[in-house]
Amino acid sequence: MHELAIAENVVSSVLERTDGRVSVVRLRVGQLSGVVPDALTFCFEIATMGTALEGAVLEIEEQRGRAHCRSCGEEFSMEDAFLLCPCGSADVQLLAGRELSVTSVQVA
């Protein structure tokens, strides 16, 4: 359940950069980041309890995995964690999907 640790990191990151009067916290979570958005939303509520962020809404923008195939030269969207191009090649480079960041907050 590392999402609780992740949620606590989100809370401290936001509190360090604002005075806590925040109504919405927006995250970008890559599909390959290893974080489950539902679990993170659940943990965010727990992590904000008793802090200035209590009651703030968490909005998660999920980012799809994207990779470049060195064999056929195409870029493709990933359905799962497998680094496998639709052409069959496994010689691919991951371009996006591991992100885990606080993109912005709505200051009340």
Partner 1 sequence: MCSTCGCGEADVRLTTLDQEGSTGHGHGHGHGHVHEHAHADGDHDHVHVERDEELRTHTLELEVAVLAKNDGLAVRNRRWLGERGIVSLNLMSSPGAGKTTLLERTIAAAGRPVSVIEGDQETLFDAERIRRAGARAVQVNTGAGCHLDAAMVSRALEELQPERDSILFIENVGNLVCPALFDLGEKRKVVVISVTEGDDKPLKYPHMFAAADIVVLNKTDLLPYVDFDPDRLTRDAQLINPDVQVLPISAKTGDNFDAWLEWLS
What pairing do the DSSP bridges indicate for beta strands 65-69 and 92-96? antiparallel
User: Does residue 15 interact with partner 1 by CB under 8 A?
Assistant: yes
16 versus 73: smaller Cβ distance to partner 1: 16
The half-sphere exposure of 37 on its side-chain side, counting CA atoms within 13 A, is: 16
The half-sphere exposure of 58 on its side-chain side, counting CA atoms within 13 A, is: 27
Q: Which two tokens stand for residue 57?
A: 């809404």
User: Does residue 33 interact with partner 1 by CB under 8 A?
Assistant: yes
Check if the beta carbon of residue 54 is closer than 8 Å to that of residue 22: no
Q: How far is the CB of 4 from partner 1 (least distance, A)?
A: 8
Select the residue interacting with partner 1 from 49, 57, 95, 107 (CB under 8 A): 107
User: Does residue 77 interact with partner 1 by CB under 8 A?
Assistant: no
Q: Which two tokens stand for residue 65?
A: 């995995």
Per-residue string for binding with partner 1, 39-68, x by CB under 8 A? ------------------------------
Phi, psi (degrees; rounded to nearest 5) at 77: -85, 140
Q: How far is the CB of 106 from partner 1 (least distance, A)?
A: 6
Q: Can you give the binding site for partner 1, defined by CB under 8 A?
A: 1-2, 5-6, 8-10, 12-15, 17-18, 23, 27, 32-35, 80-84, 90-92, 100-108
